[in-house]
């Protein structure tokens, strides 16, 4: 068990560019979550997958955001036409699909849009 | 949209003090309540997951209680140490949905 890994750790991009982040969950976990955290706020839910199926997507998520988990293993989160308001820490977490299972978080990707 | 409220927002205590935080949440359709500790430059780490009304969990000097009927949970730290300094997050879940997090309580312990 190597834990949840996220890549890259930091990303600086110019407004209008597209960015893609990757998350590798713990291998036996079938649930994978994306959250976003900004200063002074708790993690804000973006979307989650059970295996390869995207089961829930936040209504706060604009159509510039898309996530995939093509084979039920790693996941990618893409932001198109980035805006300065997208600057945040993007957290990935995984868990078992079982009552009482905690989330295991990665170290996050810090996005800065200039 | 579910609201998970945590208080206080921040807290500063001296080493050896005991302290507690509150997490309030909607009691309807309750499924689980999670507590996480988030230290600077690290990822959030699970402390407790509670599902039943009246649940009490303990890990070393940290314990938590749950009241699902009135919609609150308390986290207690006995004899705070500098290494307890972190942001403590609670999160509420309904069946089949993702966890919704509060804004957290940031604890600072001075030696």
- Please write the tens of the pLDDT for every residue from B17-35: 999 999 999 988 899 999 9
The pLDDT value recorded for residue A43 is 95
User: Is residue A63 over pLDDT 60?
Assistant: yes
Chain B nearest-CA residue for A42 = B103
Instruction: Please provide residue B83's backbone torsions phi and psi, each rounded to the nearest 5 degrees.
Output: -70, -5
| Cis geometry, peptide bond prior to residue B84 (ω within 30 degrees of 0) | no
Confidence class for position B16, pLDDT limits 50, 70, 90: very high
Q: Which residues in chain A are closer than 8 Å to B6, comparing Cβ atoms?
A: 42
- Nearest CB neighbour to A42, from listed B31, B49, B103: B103
- Nearest CB neighbour to A100, from listed B32, B43, B99: B32
Chain A nearest-CA residue for B105 = A42
* Coil vs helix vs strand at B22: strand
What gap in Å lies between CA A27 and CA A63, rounded to an integer? 29
Using alpha carbons, select from A42, A35, A90, A107 the residue that is nearest to residue B106: A42
Neighbours of B79 (CB within 10 A): 11
Residue-wise pLDDT for B75-109, tens only, equals 999 999 999 999 999 999 988 888 999 999 999 99
Q: Which residues in chain A are closer than 8 Å to B99, comparing Cβ atoms?
A: 33, 45, 103
Confidence class for position A1, pLDDT limits 50, 70, 90: low
Confidence class for position B2, pLDDT limits 50, 70, 90: low
- Nearest CB neighbour to A42, from listed B42, B46, B102: B102
Provide the shortest C-alpha distance from residue B14 to chain A (in Å): 23
- Which structure tokens are listed for B51? 């599902």
């Amino acid at each position: 068990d190597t834990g949840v890994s996220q890549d890259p750790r930091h990303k600086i991009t110019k407004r209008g560019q597209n960015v893609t982040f990757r998350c590798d969950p713990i291998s036996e976990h079938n649930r994978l979550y994306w959250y976003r955290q900004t200063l002074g706020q708790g993690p804000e839910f973006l979307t989650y997958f059970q295996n390869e199926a995207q089961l829930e997507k936040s209504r706060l998520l604009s159509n510039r955001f898309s996530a995939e988990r093509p084979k039920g293993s790693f996941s990618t989160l893409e932001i198109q036409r980035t805006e300065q308001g997208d600057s945040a820490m993007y957290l990935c977490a995984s868990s078992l699909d079982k009552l009482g299972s905690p989330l295991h978080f990665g170290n996050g990707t810090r996005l800065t849009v200039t | 949209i579910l609201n998970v409220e945590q208080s206080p927002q921040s807290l500063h205590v001296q080493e050896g003090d005991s302290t507690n935080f509150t997490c309030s949440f909607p009691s309807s359709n309750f499924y689980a309540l999670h507590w996480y500790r988030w230290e600077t430059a690290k990822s959030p780490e699970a402390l407790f997951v509670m599902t039943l009304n009246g649940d009490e969990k303990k890990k070393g000097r940290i314990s938590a209680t749950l009241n699902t009927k009135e919609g609150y949970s308390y986290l207690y730290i006995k004899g705070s140490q500098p290494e307890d300094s972190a942001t403590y997050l609670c999160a509420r879940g309904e069946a089949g949905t993702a966890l919704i997090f509060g804004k957290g309580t940031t604890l600072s312990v001075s030696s």
